[in-house]
Amino acid sequence: MINLSFYLPEIFILSLIIISLLIGLYYKNSNTILLGLNFIGLILISLFYAFSPESFLGGENSMIALSKIIILISTAIYILMIKKSLDLDSIYRFEFLLFVLFAILGSFVLISSDNFLTAFIGIEIQSLSLYLMASFNTKSLSSNEAGVKYFSLGALSSGFLLFGISMVYFDNSSIQFSEINKITYFSEIGLAIIAISLFFKVAAAPFHIWTPDVYEGSPTISVLFFATIPKLASLVFLFRFYNELNIKDYDSIDFIFKIVCILSLLIGAYGAITQKVIKRLLAFSSINHVGFILISIISFKFLSEGTFFFYLIIYLVTSFGVFSILISLRADKEEITLISQFSGLKTYSRSKSIALLILLFSLAGIPPFAGFFAKFFVLNAAINEGYIFISTIAVVTSVIAAFYYLRIIKNMFFDEPDSKIKVKSMFYNNITYISSATFVTLFAIYPDPLIFLINSYFN
């Protein structure tokens, strides 16, 4: 007997999608109402999640619940920003909202799936919306190119995923996580291939090649989404994959995880040094951060669920801040693309440049900002697990990474303004970056709320 109450959030999102679709189709001028409706809807679901008793949600563990709440709240904030941001290029259509909703529906399915086929469905729902979001700026060639690149490579990785699943199924005659326990070559190879496909989804090196191109071409508001919410979902799934299938017992896959982790750290750091385009740089920076998150995945035992979410939340908040600033900076009629265009941002917008300074130092992991503590706890877990080598690489790459964050800061603060930047003032973007910079700064002084939140889920 299937208890439908377990699926209430997903059903609710689905009905939001259908309602929005109908309203959007029949009432052309309903954009604001639609966005407001979805905002309220998502907040309501997250409240439902936060306060409903555990028995009501069935077998879902606290990790899944927490990640869903994070996704819901951040999507609600995201939805507020999309209209104005896309209007800058005058490409807003209500479908964008539907893609976002479909993507988080896919993320939900992915996160809570207990077998590989559901996971595959989740990934596909999520990815298809992402491909469309990448190519949403139909007038721009590079946006179309980004969408096609993302789609073709994503389809390839989905193929890998299915191939891996079928191999695992061949060996274990099951695709249920709990029933996959054979340690044979066949299932080992199958699981490795599944892992590779997941690495592709989270943009871990060496499966990261699509990331800089897609980030560069897509509208910045879509990139903000790629870099945060679906990535969080895929990482949570990767975490569950690693732990519930006891990947530690498979030496070779464990080894692949470590290699990918090291490569992500290194490529994320070195790749960004020579980049001139800001979004490509942020793409590499996100690869570096995925490396850190992978460390927290492989060194699970020591409070790692907490550490993992700690890092994810701080990274999510910081990315939201960085991208929402990036969206509001325009050069004439185009988005700002080059790092050199940041020159003298200090003179154009004091608050934005200071917020960006704080957020970038936080991404670089310099205390007293929150990013430092995120890295600190990840390294703590890693050293506790005995991964001294990986930790050393991690800290060395964070020094290299500091270099390219400093370059942006140098452009903003040290250089004289040479190009005309137009700073758009957009209400929701402003709220987002101000609150994210405030969070990052105040975390050192008063970390209790976040720690309390995480502890309440993992104790």
Partner 1 sequence: MNFSFPIITLLILTPVIGAITLSLTKSDQINKKTILLAGLWISIGEFLLSLLLPVFYDKSKNGYQFIEFHTWFEQFDINYYVGVDGISIPLILLTTFLIPICLLCSWNSIKKRVKEYVIYFLLLESFIIGVFVSIDIVIFYVFFESVLIPMFLIIGIWGGENRVYASFKFFLYTLAGSVLMLLAIIYILITVQTGNIDIIKNFNFDESIQLVLFLCFFASFAVKVPMFPFHTWLPDAHVQAPTSGSVILAGVLLKLGGYGFLRLSIPFFDFASIYFQPFIFTLSCIAITYTSIVALRQEDMKKMIAYSSVAHMGFVTIGLFTLTQDGVNGGYFQMISHGLVSAALFLIVGVVYERKHSRSIADYSGLANTMPKYSAFFMLFMLASVGLPGTSGFVGEFLVILSTIKISIYLTIFTAVGVVVGAAYMLLLYKNINFGQVNNNLKEMKDLNFIEISYFTIISIMVVVLGIYPKLLLKLVDASISLSVLS
Residues that bind partner 1 (CB under 8 A): 303, 361, 366-368, 372, 376, 379-380, 383-384, 388, 391-392, 395-396, 398-399, 402-403, 406, 410, 413-414, 444, 447, 451
Q: What is the smallest separation between the CB atom of 458 and partner 1, expressed in angstroms?
A: 11
Tell me whether residue 142 or residue 430 sits nearer to partner 1 (CB atom).
430
| Cis upstream peptide for 9 (omega within 30°) | no
CA distance 146 to 378: 33
SS (H, E, C) 155-173: HHHHHHHHHHHHHHHHHHC
Query: How, if at all, do strands 422-423 and 334-335 pair?
Result: unpaired
CA distance 433 to 359: 9
If the CB atoms of residues 183 and 388 are measured against partner 1, the closer one turns out to be 388
**CA distances from residue 295 to 264, 302, 379 in whole angstroms, order as listed:** 10, 12, 8
Which of 25, 444 has the CB closer to partner 1? Answer: 444
By beta-carbon proximity to partner 1, the closer residue of 66 and 194 is: 66
State the Cα–Cα distance between residues 391 and 374, nearest whole angstrom.
14
Q: Measured from the CB of residue 299, what is the shortest distance to partner 1 in angstroms?
A: 12
Nearest residue (CB) to partner 1, 196 versus 345: 345
Of the pair 187, 411, the CB lying nearest partner 1 is at 411
**Residue placing its CB nearer to partner 1 in the complex, 49 or 404:** 404
Q: How far is CA 163 from CA 131, 186, 308, 398, in A?
A: 22, 12, 29, 36
Task: For partner 1, give the closer residue by CB, 24 or 368.
Answer: 368
Least distance (Å) between residue 352 CB and partner 1: 14
CB contact at 8 A, 346 and 240 = no
Give the shortest CB-294-to-partner 1 separation in angstroms.
Answer: 18
The residue among 93 and 276 lying less far from partner 1, judged by its C-beta, is: 276
**In the complex, what is the shortest distance from the CB of residue 447 to partner 1, in angstroms, rounded to a whole number?**
7
- Residue owning tokens 């989270």: 202
91 within 8 A of 139, measured Cβ to Cβ: yes
Inter-residue contact 102 to 128 (CB < 8 Å): yes
| Shortest separation between residue 202's beta carbon and partner 1, angstroms | 25
Least separation in angstroms between CB 364 and partner 1? 9
Q: For the CB of residue 262, give the shortest distance to partner 1 in the complex, in Å.
A: 16
Count of alpha carbons within 13 angstroms of residue 97, beta-carbon side: 34
CB of 370 to partner 1, least distance (A): 12
**Phi, psi (deg, nearest 5) at residue 418:** -125, -25
Using CA atoms, how far residue 357 sits from 150, 351, 412, 443, 450, in Å, is 31, 10, 9, 16, 22
| Amino acid (1-letter code) at residue 162 | L
How far, in Å, CA of 2 to CA of 138, rounded? 43
